[in-house]
């Protein structure tokens, strides 16, 4: 029998999905979610704490429906199906779907599954499971996804679709492990092992069961460990009698310690079967007879048939044929009624399975259509994007061409502007050169005029002396004095200065006013430099060496506060202007 765990608990990852309603309630729910196995006393205590909190806080109905939900869970684990169904129905009527969707999905999904299973409607139950699974997948709740994979696996197992059930159990195991719930992952191993055994793969089943049985987590959960031992005892080959006895006796001892009537009766039935195989019919009969009243009371037909069959076999082997006949007759009646019920259930199961397969087929068809629609949409979108891309590229290309034209035009304009600037600079330079040449010509003309005037003065003196009859010696002396006057440097400088002032009026006055530290010789040198005379010409006129001229220029630059990058000629030209 597959174990379908209705514990919706396991792991810290799951707790975070419950909306917080207060520190106390949140901590209790966290403990409930993280509890392992069937710890009835502890769980009932936590449920009572939730009920007390809900009674204390009437303004928080969420506490009430959560208490009912966990109460239903505990009763379900205790086998009280009717009470659990009533409680979960009440919780479903109270839950606020709008503000507590997660609570609603947990409660309503469980309630809908109860309703469907109560009437044996596996098809509707499958629809509920898949709908709930889709919700928990949408919020990435791994533990609840694993729970519903387990529930669907159990459903397919009941319908006889063992291969499908095995796939769902494997998925549940993987999700429990990824969600951090190793204990629940181990419990899925038990379901997987039972499936393998039902499919005839006893080797794989036994290997998984031994792995689970060896884990401390499994041994610490007594109820779960008993079920593991039951499966191991059922799957152990008959020839390994000692090993099988170890399992059944360990299972029986644990069941008695656990005080769980259902597990204890199942252990006794397994012991009865074991002792029949060992041909110890008296022991087997005792275990079967101890179990029969309880299974009759709870109307467990499968266990009742096992007990009646075992008792009949034991009486027959002990040669108590009358008693054997009585129990075997009851066995046949129960089996016939079960066969009829099974026949009806098989028909229902076949109908449910056919509906499920048709539903899944429709889903696959719809998915195929959706994929086709998606492909068409993608294709149309791609074409539109390509067209849009083409249009955008054309517009971009046109804009690029326009931009290039604009840049080319700007470059041409810049080139023209640059050429114009160059031309203006050249014109200005040419103008400056012409102005310099004109100044030089003017200076030369003035100097020639002075020389001409001087020569005329000498000529006049000679003519006057000739006319007056002066002696040659006296005339010669006067001419010599006249020539000396014009050859004298100081006289020459005064003449140059007089002429320079005519071309550059105010030059000496402005220069002396701004730079009073300049000497007369330095002023003279500044005038010669501004007149455009070369260093060689200046040195000749001043009758000094070129090195002395360089030193003189350096002193002038210092007094004028000029840097090494500044031009002395340009600076003096600005003053002259």
* Tens digits of pLDDT across the chain (577 residues): 444 433 333 333 444 588 898 888 888 888 887 764 445 567 778 889 999 999 999 889 999 999 999 888 888 776 677 888 899 999 999 999 999 999 999 998 888 888 877 777 888 888 889 999 999 999 999 988 998 999 899 888 888 888 999 999 999 999 988 988 888 888 899 999 999 988 989 899 889 988 988 888 888 877 788 888 888 877 655 444 667 777 778 878 887 877 777 778 888 888 888 888 888 899 889 988 888 898 888 777 888 888 888 998 999 999 998 888 888 888 888 887 766 655 556 666 677 777 777 877 877 787 788 788 888 888 888 888 888 888 888 888 888 888 888 888 888 888 888 888 888 888 777 676 656 655 564 555 455 555 656 666 777 777 776 666 666 666 667 666 666 555 555 566 676 777 777 777 888 888 888 888 888 888 888 888 887 778 887 877 777 888 888 888 889 888 888 888 888 888 887 876 6
End of a domain among 110, 138, 166? 138
User: What whole-number distance in Å separates Cα of residue 30 and Cα of residue 223?
Assistant: 22
User: What whole-number distance in Å separates Cα of residue 17 and Cα of residue 106?
Assistant: 11
CA 183 and chain centroid, separation: 31
CA dihedral for 256, 261, 263, 265, sign (positive or negative): positive
What pLDDT shows up at residue 445? 46
CB 71 within 8 A of CB 87: yes
Residue 551 located in a structural domain: yes
Residue 202 located in a structural domain: no
End of a domain among 101, 116, 138? 138
Element (H, E) at 85: helix 81-94
Residue 255 located in a structural domain: no
What pLDDT shows up at residue 1? 42
Residue 121 located in a structural domain: yes
Residue 162 located in a structural domain: no
End of a domain among 138, 165, 181? 138
Contacts 24+ apart (CB under 8 A), 284-292: 284/310, 284/314, 285/310, 285/311, 285/314, 285/315, 285/318, 288/314, 291/265
What pLDDT shows up at residue 2? 45
Closest CA to 95 of 62, 125, 127, 128: 62
Residue 38 located in a structural domain: yes
Residue 409 located in a structural domain: no
Q: What is the CATH number of the domain that holds 555?
A: 1.10.10.10
Residue 557 domain boundaries: 503-576
Q: What does the block give as tokens for 506?
A: 């105010």
What pLDDT shows up at residue 441? 46
CB 9 within 8 A of CB 32: yes
- Domain count of the fold of the chain: 2
Residue 97 located in a structural domain: yes
């Amino acid at each position: 029998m597959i174990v379908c765990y209705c514990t919706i608990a396991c792991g810290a990852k799951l707790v975070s999905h419950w909306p917080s309603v207060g520190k106390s309630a949140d901590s209790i729910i966290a403990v409930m979610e993280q509890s392992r196995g069937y710890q009835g006393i502890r769980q009932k205590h936590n449920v009572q704490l939730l009920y007390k909190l809900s009674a204390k806080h009437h303004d928080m109905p969420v506490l009430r429906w959560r208490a009912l939900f966990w109460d239903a869970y505990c009763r379900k684990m205790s086998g009280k199906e009717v009470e659990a169904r009533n409680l979960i129905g009440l919780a479903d009527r109270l839950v606020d779907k709008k503000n507590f969707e997660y609570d609603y999905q947990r409660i309503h999904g469980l309630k809908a599954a109860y309703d469907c299973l109560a009437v044996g409607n596996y098809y509707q139950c499958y629809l509920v499971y898949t709908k709930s699974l889709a919700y928990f997948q949408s919020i990435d709740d791994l533990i609840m996804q694993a729970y519903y994979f387990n529930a669907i696996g159990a459903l397919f197992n009941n319908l006889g679709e063992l291969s499908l059930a095995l796939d769902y159990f494997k998925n549940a195991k993987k999700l429990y492990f990824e969600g951090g719930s190793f204990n629940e992952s181990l419990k899925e191993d038990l379901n997987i092992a039972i499936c393998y055994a039902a499919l005839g793969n006893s080797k794989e089943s036994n290997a998984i069961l031994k792995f689970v049985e060896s884990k401390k987590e499994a041994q610490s959960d007594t109820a779960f460990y008993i079920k593991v031992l039951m499966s191991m005892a059922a799957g152990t080959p008959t020839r390994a009698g000692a090993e099988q006895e170890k399992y059944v006796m360990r299972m029986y001892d644990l069941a008695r310690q656990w005080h769980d009537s259902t597990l204890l009766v199942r252990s006794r039935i397994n012991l009865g079967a074991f002792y029949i195989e060992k041909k110890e019919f008296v022991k087997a009969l005792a275990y079967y007879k101890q179990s029969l009243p309880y299974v009759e009371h709870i109307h467990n037909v499968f266990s009742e048939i096992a007990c009646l069959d075992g008792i009949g076999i034991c009486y027959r082997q002990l040669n108590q044929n009358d008693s054997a006949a009585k129990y075997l007759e009851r066995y046949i009646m129960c089996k016939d009624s079960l066969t009829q019920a099974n026949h009806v259930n098989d028909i229902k199961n076949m109908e449910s399975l056919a509906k499920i397969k048709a539903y899944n087929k429709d889903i696959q068809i719809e998915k195929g259509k959706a994929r086709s629609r998606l492909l068409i949409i993608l294709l149309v979108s791609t074409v539109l994007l390509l067209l849009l891309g083409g249009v955008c590229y054309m517009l971009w290309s046109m804009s690029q061409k326009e931009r290039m034209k604009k840049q080319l035009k700007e470059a041409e304009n810049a080139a023209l502007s640059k050429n114009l600037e160059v031309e203006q600079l050249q014109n200005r330079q040419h103008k400056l050169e012409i102005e310099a040449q004109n100044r030089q010509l003017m200076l030369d003309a003035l100097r020639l005029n002075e020389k001409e005037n001087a020569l005329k003065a000498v000529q006049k003196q000679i003519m006057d002396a000739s006319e007056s009859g002066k002696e040659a010696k006296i005339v010669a002396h006067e001419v010599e004095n006249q020539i000396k006057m014009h050859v004298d440097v100081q006289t020459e400088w005064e003449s140059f200065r007089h002429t320079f002032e005519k071309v550059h009026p105010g030059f000496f006055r402005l220069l002396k006013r701004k730079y009073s530290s300049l000497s007369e010789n330095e002023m003279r040198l500044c005038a010669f430099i501004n007149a455009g005379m070369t260093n060689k010409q200046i040195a000749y006129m001043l009758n000094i060496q070129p090195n002395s001229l360089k030193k003189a220029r350096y002193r002038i630059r210092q007094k004028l506060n000029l840097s090494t990058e500044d031009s002395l000629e340009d600076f003096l030209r600005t003053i002259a202007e």
